[in-house]
Amino acid sequence: MTGPVDWAPGYREFAAPAAFRQEIQCLWVSVAPPDGGRQTLVLPDACTDLIWQSGVGAFVAGPDTGPVPDSRPAGAVIVGARFRPGAGGAALGVPLSELLDQRVEAADLPGVPARRLPGSLPPAEALRRLTGVVAELVTERPPDSLVLAAARGLGRPGARAELVAGRLGVSERQLRRRCQAAVGYGPRTLMRVLRFRRFVAHIDADGDAADLARLAAEAGYADQAHLTRESTRLAGLTPAALARARRP
């Protein structure tokens, strides 16, 4: 990453180094306001994050299958690196099915050099080191290229797991096994999560002008009732409530 970082309160994403964008979706910074803690609702995104928090150190946010309320103390500074769907398992050296819906200290994962990311670091140094660590991890333990390709296929509207497996030349059982290790769950759940993220991206882009029925169709849902069921399962909110909650 190049250029200065804005450390004012708020959440910001940055592009990963160009050589690692196939494996790393983004780098990010989250700063809680000094006059009160910050609470957010983390939604499933099929990704896994290596995270550093001031005064705490490094931990891993495993793949989620539902909403996770996240509270931060006042003034907390957090930096993270988000692995793309399919890249986290190999990089972290553990089947992601073992980290499903968990937050795990990096020191508990032998493949992650947690000692290089103590909580006492200045935030800018923590971001620099974290960027270097994840670049090393994906270089030393590259992702399963078949699962990366499967994630791209399953992320398209109208995708079907059996057709994606056939195009990749593997059985559904083999694809499921490899997805569980590299993503944390099987291709059908991955497809559901990626479809939901398409909808979330649409409501973020449209804001108050969001037409939920139209966005449901564009994201790949059978109808608005289908979207409502999935939104309730994955976000704990109806689509309308989620749209209101995500307004700036």
pLDDT of residue 39: 73
Residue appearing with tokens 């670049």: 135
Residues of the chain with pLDDT under 50: none
Give the neighbor-by-neighbor strand order of the sheet with 57-61. Answer: 10-14, 24-31, 77-83, 48-53, 57-61, 103-105
Query: Are the beta carbons of 69 and 101 closer than 8 angstroms?
Result: no
Angle (deg, nearest 10), helices 212-219 and 224-235: 80
How many Å apart are CA 35 and CA 22, to the nearest integer? Answer: 38
pLDDT of residue 235: 96
Which two three-digit tokens encode residue 79? 């930096």
Query: Are the beta carbons of 208 and 217 closer than 8 angstroms?
Result: no
> Which CATH code for domain 145-245?
1.10.10.60
Residue 202: CB atoms within 10 A of its CB come to 18
Q: Which pTM was predicted?
A: 0.93
Residue 154: CB atoms within 10 A of its CB come to 29
pLDDT of residue 152: 95
Annotated domain spans of the chain: 10-140, 145-245
DSSP 8-state secondary structure symbol assigned to residue 56: T
pLDDT of residue 2: 58
pLDDT of residue 1: 57
Element (H, E) at 152: helix 145-154
